[in-house]
Structure formats: C-alpha cells, structure tokens
Structure 1
Amino acid sequence: MLVELRIKNFAIINTLNLEFDPGLVILTGETGAGKSIIMGALDMLLGQRVDMSTLRKGSEFASVEAVFRIPDNVRDPVIKLLEQEELLDGTEFLTLTRELRKDKRNIARVNGHRTNVTVLVELGQYLVDIHGQSEHLSLMRVNQHLGLLDRFSGTTEQLEEYQKVYQKLKETQSTLAGLRQSDLEADQRKELLAFQVEEISLTAPVEREEEPLIELRNRLVNAEKLADLGQNILILLDDAPSHQPTVMDLVGQIVSSMEVLSKTDPALETQNQRVGELSDGLFELGKSLRSYLDTLEFDANELEKTQDRLALLHDLKRKYGETIPEILNYMENARRQLEEITGRSTRIGELIEIENSLLLELGLLGQKLTQSRKSGAQRLTSELEIQLDDLKMAGSRFEVFFRETESDTGVPVEDGKRLEYHPDGLEKVEFLIEANPGEGLKALAKTASGGETARLMLALKNVLAKADHISTLVFDEIDQGIGGRIGAVVGEKLYRLTPEHQVICITHLPQLAGFGQQHFQVLKGLADGRTSIQVQEISGEERIKELATMIGGPSEKNQESARELMDYISKVIQ
C-alpha cells in the first residue's frame, strides 16, 4: 500500500507531504484546486512521460517520492526484480523517487539507488492501479487477464498441474531436438568410425609385437652377412688351415702355461682360473654359434610377411597413435562413439513416444483447464452484471474472449483437432467490454478512459477483489456524469474493496466522499505571493463542513444534511 507521498516543485505544488492510511482515502476540493495534479505527480513517479511544463516556475528540479509497504501477495516478484537490479534494501518497505531537472535530465531511484525509469514502471505494475490513466491500469494489460481469471475461477491448482506436464514436454522436446541435431552430424561420422574400427580390428595389433618383428626382419634381411661373419668366427676359433694356429690352440697354450705358473706360484691361481673360464667360454661360443648358423637361412616369404606386418602397424601408428596402446585406445573410443550413435537412434525413438504421450496428457489437462476457466468466465460475467446493475449500467456488457489456434504440431483435442499450447494453457484470454449500449464489444485494453469505463472497472474490481493482487487502487474520474444516488452506490462499492485493497479516490460527490476512512481536503491558495496547493487531513466537524460545502454550501442546513449522510453511511457499512 501507499504509505507516504512527497512532492516538490511539481506544477503549482511547492512542497507537499501526505501520509496515507489503509482503507478508502478520499481527496476533495473545489474544481481547479489541484487534486488531479497530485495524481499527475504519482503518474510521473510511475514512469509517465512528462515535459518541462510540470516543473514549477523558477525551480531547478521537480521531485516525487513515495513509500510503499510491499504487499505479501506480490512480495516474491518484487523482491526478485529488486535483486535482479541490485536494489534490494529490506523487504517490507520500498521507496521510489523520480526527479525532473531543468537541464531535462530524468533521475530515477529505488531505495535511494540510481536506476532506470523502466524499473519504476515495472515496480509500479505490482503496486498501483490508476483508473483514469490506462498506462498504469493492470486491467488494461491483456497479459494480466488470464491470471485474474484463474485466481477468480480457482483454477490455480489445475494450472500448476498443467504447467508441470508442460515443463516435462518442453524438456523432452529440447533433449529430442539436441539428439536430432547430433544425429545429423553423427550420420556423417558413423561411416568413418565404422571404417576405423574395422581397420584396426582386422590388423589386430598386439602390445610389444613390433620389437620382435623388427628383429626378425633385420635377421632375414641380413641372413647372408650374418652367416659369413659367423663362419669366419668359427674358422678363427677352431677351424683354421693346418698351417695356422686357431684361437682355441693359442688359448690352450695359455691354459697349459698358466697351470704351470699357478703350481709354481699359488698366487697366480686366480688368473689361472680366469684363463680356464675364458677357454670354456670360447668353447661354448663356438658351440652356440654353430647352432645359430644351423638355423640361419634366408626365407623370402617370411621376410615379405614380416615387412607387410610392420607396414600395417606403421600405417596404424601414422593414423591413430604413436604406440600400439594408443591405437588400441583410439579403437575403443571409436567403438564407444559408434555405440552412442546407435543408441541415440534408439533414444530418439523412445523420446518421440514420450513426447506423444505428454502431448496427449497435456491436451487432456488443457481441455479440463479450459472448461473450468469458461465456467469461471460465466460466473464472472454473471456477478459483473449484478455490479453493473447496481451502478445503473445495465446496458453495459462484458465478455471473456477465448482465443484458440489450431496447429499441426499442437496437442490433440476432441474432434481430431490439434491446438497450439502455451505455458499457461491452450488459449489466450482477453476481457471485452461494451461500456455504452450499441457500441459493440471492444477490447478492454483499447477502451478510452472516462466515467463509464472507470465505473465498469470498479465493478470488475469488486468482482475480482480477491483475485486482484494490486494493493493500491486510484480512481480519478469515477464520478463523472453520475448523481448523488449512484455516487452513494459507487462509494459503497469502493468501501467494499478495502478489505483487500487500499483505495484512493478523487471525487466531487459528497455521497461518495462520505464513505472515506481518511479524508484529505485540497486547497489552492497563495503562499509568498505565488499560487500553491495545500492539503490537509480533515475529520469530525471539519469533514462535516467539507461535505456540506460539496452538497451546496457551508450552511447549517447542509451541515445537517452532511450529518444525516454520515449516519446513513454508518448503517450501510455495518
């Protein structure tokens, strides 16, 4: 609710501070006293475009500041917006400020922090409805109509159930779209992966097989050279021509001499043993070398097979990794990707089934929700007709228009049709009105402001009182074109809104003003030789005199009429 309003240098207002109570707040005063200027200041605060003419003559700036108590039913979205804009400063009260400077700069503040005017507009949509200025009227915003209808119809739980399925459907469709996009790319990669897996699998490389193959290839390639070298060694060892001593002959002589030496001098026994070991080693060398040469032969087929195998391994290393373990790891990764691609097709099929199931479920829930809304719309229309009749507007009409759109990709409904689906249902809803008979139904959002429209809004507000989350309602033109009797009806209806709303009303009708729970008198006078607006809160006899003046003048008779009016109102509101 609006707790305090502070205005400075705005139009003919010098300085004005108003503190508001809950309930029905009335502003009265003579025509031209400046009541609507106060509402204009509130408009400016909430983002209305203003020009330099609103700046009080001779002033450097105009400012409007308001303190609101944040209503519980809009606390969450308001706090979310404040956090988003980094403007949160407590969760009970909210201070909005707007300044217009002589240099044409606009300054907006929330809780003392600089921000954009658009933030004031957004916050104002949660806090205030100004009837008479459609920019600040929630009922003029089509996107609010469905929420109002749901709260009035009691379909909030049905909507939540629908939205849960809607969310599941959207998540499924998002996953499905991602898989389908991946599937297009995967199809192009699938053939390559299959080839790579097959190529590596057919080659079947084995860890540490390359080194023995290289050794075998070297042996086969160098078989003749190895045989020649081996034979030369054997000749030197023990197969030299008869006229030449062999290595074994020479070593034998050394062995014999060392035996004599070691027997003569035991200190040489170790050397003697070494010579014996050398002789034995050379003997074993000749033996193993003969065995090696017996197995050594050149095999062209074996060489070709070995070279082919090494070539295959080299080709794999060039493509898939520097070592055989890396090649095998590459193959496993490729195989996993192939399995994922194959599994993706299966998963896509499963998700399509889930999507169709969710579309069917959403269609059923959506149709039930639509029926409940249409029942609520009928009840809303019926209750509104009673309100309009009370306001002597029986010729006015109201209708809730349901717009459904067929779509091939929509949810299945009765008659084999498919309808578009939205986060909040299968339809878009808009309030239509005919304020005056014969004009035809028009979109409420496109209806010009005026007395009839304001009273129709009042009727709607009464019917939607518990469904409407806007805590402060301002009525500026509601008494245009009506007399005292209807004014009393309007006053009572405004009063009946106060359990759920703070209502601020500017009026010229005493029958309406008498219902106020707080009453401000707006006066225009001179201060320091300049015209200025003054506002004072009145009660008791001061209020009786103001009501009497509104009836016809401050005479005793009119004051008595004012007292009778207040007695009547006291009985009405009991």
Structure 2
Amino acid sequence: MIKSLYIKDFALIDELDVQFEDGLNILTGQTGAGKSIIIGALNMILGERADTDVIRQGADKAISEATIEIGQDSFLADLLEENAVEYSEELILRREIRQKGSRAFINDTPVNIAVLKKVGDQLVDLHGQHDHQMLLKDEHHMDVIDRFESVQPALKAYRSEYGKMKTLQKELRDLKRRERELKEKTELYQFQVQELESAELDAYEEEELESEMNLLDNAEDLDQKAAAISEIGNGDDVSLMEMLNTIKLHLEDMARIEPEFETYLQEVNTARISIQEAINFAERYRNGIEFNPKRLETLRQRQSELNRLQKKYMRSIPELISYYNEIKRELNVAENFDLEIEKIEKRIREQASNLKEKAVALHKKRVKTGENLSSDIVNALKNLGIENGQFKVDVQWLDSENGWIEVDGRLVECTEQGCDDVKFYISTNKGEEPKPLAKIASGGEISRVMLSLKSILAKEHHLPVMIFDEIDTGISGNISEKVGREMRKLSEHCQIVAITHQPQIASQAHKHYRVQKIEEGERTITKIIPLSDEEHIHEVASLMSGEEITDSALTSAKELIERGGMRN
C-alpha cells in the first residue's frame, strides 16, 4: 500500500505530505482544484514521461515521492538486486524533474527511469481517464487477456518458437536476396575470375619483378664497375694487392722492433683479405651478369599488366588475390543456391510444426481465459446494475495468404503476440446480440466494464495498489452507489485511491480527503486535507447539494454513509 505521498513544487502544489490508509481512499474537490495534478505526480513516480512544465514557477525542481509498503516479493527483490538497490519491505520511490532532465531514486539509490517504471508496474495500477478510450480500441483487447497468469506460460513458449521462426525466415530472405544479387553479377564475376585466374597472381611477384628489372636495367654499368675492381686488383704495372703485400712486409719488420706496429699489421692483413675477396667476387659476378634486353622487355610488359589490373580493380596485388578468392566462393554459392534454399525451407517446415503447436496451445488458453473472463464480467456487471448484460471475448485465428502455419486447412498469420485476433463484444440490454464494445457501450457502461476488468485483474495479479482517476465517468444515482460498493469490496484485496465527483462513491470511503485550491499572498496553491468523520459527512453532502449544504443533504449523506457501512 502507499503509506505516504510527498509532493513539492509540482504545478500548483507548493508542498504536500499526505498519509494514505488501507482500504478505499477517496479524493474529492471542485473542478480545477488540482486532483489531476496529484495523479500526475503519482504518474511521475511510476516512471511515466514528465515535462519540465510541471516545475512550479520560481522553483529549481519538482519532487514527487511515495513510500510504498510491499511485504515479501521475490520478483521485486530480484529486480532490485539486479540494479544494486537494497531490498526492503518498504520502498521509497522518488522522482525529481529539473530544467536539464530528471532523476529517479529507489531507497535513495539512483536508478534509470526504465527501472523505476518496472518497479512501479509491479506495485500500482493507475487507471487514468484515457484508459476508457483504450478499452474501446480492439488492438488493446489482446493485452487484457495476456495479462492473466493462465496465459503467460503459453505466450512465453510461443514467443520462443516465434523468435526461432523469425530468424529462419530472415535467413531465407537474405539468401534469396543474395541469389538475386548474384544472378545479376554472375556474368561479371565469371569474367573477372577468368581474367584474374589467367593473370596467375603472386603476392610477392611485384617485389621480385622490381629486383630482376633493376639488375637487367643496370647490367652494363655493373659489368664496367666489376671490371674496374678486377683491374685495380690485378693490374699489369703495380696492382693494389702488390702494394698491400709490400706494406705488410714492412710492417712485419717494424713490429719486430716496435710492438706498437703490431696492431696496424693486423689491420692491413684484414684489409688484404677483404679486398681480395671483393676482387674475387667482382670477377665471379661479372661472369654471371646477364645482358638480356628481351627478358627485360618481357618483365616490363608483366609489370604493366599488373599495374593495369591494380588500377582497374583499385586493389593491390594481395587484395586482388583475396578478391579473386571471394568472388570465386560467391560463384560457387550461386551454383548451390537451390540446395541451400531447400535446406532452410526444410528447417522452416520443421519449425512451423513447432510454432503451430505453441500457437494452438496459446489460442486455447486465450479462448479458455476469455470464457472465464466473460463469465466473471457478466457477474460483475450484475453487481453494477447491468442485469441482462452479456460479455464475450472473441478469439479468432488471423487468416493470411502469407501465413507461416496452417490451421484447419487455412494459412494463419503469426506475430510476436501470437496468431489470434481478440475482440470484446457486449450487450447491455436483454434480447440484443453482443456487438463490438466501441459500437454499443455508453460512457457509463464502459466505466462499469472497466471497473469489472480492473477488479478481476487486481485479484489475478495481487496488485498492492489501484488508483482510479474518475472511473465513474458517465454514471450517477443508484448505479454510482453500486460502483462505490464494488470499489469498497475490491479494496479488501488491495488499497484503492480514487478521485470522484459522485457522493454515492465518496460515501463508501474508508478515508476521505478533500483537494482544494487556496490563495496565499500572490500565489495559488493546492492542498489535500484528510477529513474527520464529521467533515466526511459534510463533504459528501456538498457533493449532493453544492456549496450551500442543506439539512436534508446532511441527512442524506449520513444515510448514504451508514448504508455503505463506512465506519466499522
């Protein structure tokens, strides 16, 4: 239950701190007093979208905070643990709206808005005025059925198989798309494979070409230089080697007298050996020099061809080799598309069988749950003054020419939500066939159907708190009293906070609050005031007679309250 609600600098609310009680908590007040502002603040705590316009003029931020008693709840415990929030049997949900964004907290731990909303959805069902319109739209009817615990396991099992089927269908679409694309490119790829194959590309060929061409290009210069080296070493007059030998002999004689010459002797010996090796290598190299202009021309043509291919494909030689292997694989795939498509189609047929099994199970669960819901709503409507009401949940297969599965000889469309179309039908008068909810139900009848649904769902989901923002739209008089009794009865299962303009509903309150707008200085502010028993009677009377409360209105208010058994 919501134990307390604290609001600060939110719209017309300066600062408000109210304690709620078990059972049926009723809020009343004149139009424009700020009742909907309080609902807006609660919505903000529950993770709904909030605009900076809600910040009270002159304030830095708007604050809304609720203390909610939850008891033991394993789902919430796990959810909070996942988000590093300390679990306790009393949660404080807080939201702050600033000009530069909003912040959310649970038990003073910062959380993102999505987590706040998940927690809020487990604790509070807030019925706003727009929910009536949602009920009139067929697309929301399946959501109502799927909220029942009897449907959830079947829906989860179906979605698992649906996900697998969706993946396979995507694989098939992608494969067929690739087939179409490859068919358009096959001729080009075949030409390119042939061209690159005949080129006999080698990743290291360019480097080898450059090296060989460099030698052939400079063969004459190399020969001349090698000849010059040989001539220096073996000249007819005095050769370099003879000079080094002479130096060596002199150094040997000198080293015997002066040891310091030993070092230079060793260096000359080393030089003699190195120079002799260089001369010998130059002579051998000269013998192997190739003068081959024809070979050079061939190499130049090969280089030109490689340059042409690289320019044409805008790829280096290694990249061309990779591209060649890639398009060759693509062509191989193109040749085997039929086989690959057949494999996937076989898997799709097998998966369709699995999906159908889960879809049929889900369909049956929805039909059964719909039958139970129809019966429960009919009984609830009787308590709300619709004696001869009929309510039908119609669950039909979604026919489609492109359906993934076949049921009873016809193709059925599959979506993430299942393969069903769910619609609500109602008849509120004896002898009339049920018709679509949107076409037959009045505002008052929609209110009663909605209250019936909320009552059933509250018991189904064991929600701790339900909030109703004028669920009594379109009803009055005797019917209002019945609605009030139903809300009071529902409050045995969960705490209810309700805004109403109906005295018959207000009279059923376990605790009554008046919302009023007052002027303080130059500002207008909204207050929420808990009423005593006597004030409760006066407030109910004012709902009957207006600002001027008559004795007869007070008497009628007392009778209403006593009839509703408000005080235990």
Q: TM-score by structure 2 length? A: 0.60
Within a 5 Å distance, the mapping from 1:111-190 to structure 2 comes to 129-130=126-127, 133-135=129-131, 139=135, 143-152=139-148, 154-178=150-174, 181=177, 188=185, 190=189
Conserved 8 A contact 1:153-1:373? no
* Residue number in structure 1 paired with 2:454: 461
How high is the sequence identity, in percent, across the aligned residues? Answer: 19
Q: What displacement does 1:111 show?
A: 6.2
Change beyond 3 A, Cα 1:212–1:564: closer
2:318 equivalent to 1:319: no
* Residue number in structure 2 paired with 1:191: 190
Within a 5 Å distance, the mapping from 1:354-503 to structure 2 comes to 354-402=347-395, 404-436=397-429, 438=432, 441-444=435-438, 447-450=441-444, 452-467=445-460, 471-474=465-468, 475-477=470-472, 480-483=475-478, 487=481, 490-492=484-486, 494-503=488-497
Q: Distance in 2 between matches of 1:417 and 1:181?
A: 28
Conserved 8 A contact 1:412-1:419? yes
Deviations 1:409-464 (A, max 9, x none): 321122343222211111243333334554952335995522x3322222222222
Change beyond 3 A, Cα 1:387–1:124: same
Q: What displacement does 1:159 show?
A: 1.1
SS at 2:147 equivalent: helix
* Residue number in structure 2 paired with 1:19: 19
Q: Distance in 2 between matches of 1:297 and 1:454?
A: 104
Change beyond 3 A, Cα 1:389–1:562: closer
Q: Distance in 1 between matches of 2:133 and 2:91?
A: 23
SS at 1:407 equivalent: coil
Unmatched 5+ stretches in structure 1: 49-58, 84-90, 100-105, 113-119, 231-235, 237-246
SS at 1:464 equivalent: helix
Q: Distance in 2 between matches of 1:527 and 1:205?
A: 90
Conserved 8 A contact 1:153-1:377? no
Q: Distance in 2 between matches of 1:202 and 1:184?
A: 30
Q: CA RMSD in A?
A: 6.3
Q: Distance in 1 between matches of 2:409 and 2:294?
A: 73
Q: What displacement does 1:496 show?
A: 2.5
Larger radius of gyration: 1
Q: What displacement does 1:374 show?
A: 1.0
Deviations 1:67-106 (A, max 9, x none): 4457979x99xx99xx9xxxxxxx944457999xxxxxx9
Q: Distance in 1 between matches of 2:25 and 2:100?
A: 29
Conserved 8 A contact 2:213-2:299? no
Q: Distance in 1 between matches of 2:213 and 2:27?
A: 105
Change beyond 3 A, Cα 1:463–1:34: same
Q: TM-score by structure 1 length? A: 0.59
Change beyond 3 A, Cα 1:336–1:9: closer
* Residue number in structure 1 paired with 2:5: 4
Conserved 8 A contact 2:366-2:395? no
Q: What displacement does 1:378 show?
A: 0.9
* Residue number in structure 2 paired with 1:242: none
Change beyond 3 A, Cα 1:525–1:563: farther
Q: Distance in 2 between matches of 1:36 and 1:470?
A: 29
* Residue number in structure 2 paired with 1:115: none
Paired positions, count:
478
Unmatched 5+ stretches in structure 2: 49-56, 84-89, 106-115, 255-264, 545-550
Change beyond 3 A, Cα 1:314–1:503: same
Conserved 8 A contact 2:24-2:510? yes
Conserved 8 A contact 2:203-2:321? no
SS at 2:423 equivalent: strand
Q: What displacement does 1:365 show?
A: 1.6
Q: Distance in 2 between matches of 1:379 and 1:483?
A: 28
SS at 2:458 equivalent: coil
Q: Distance in 1 between matches of 2:100 and 2:429?
A: 42
Q: Distance in 2 between matches of 1:10 and 1:331?
A: 70
Amino acid at match of 1:472: M
2:321 equivalent to 1:331: yes
SS at 2:402 equivalent: strand
Q: Distance in 2 between matches of 1:524 and 1:317?
A: 86
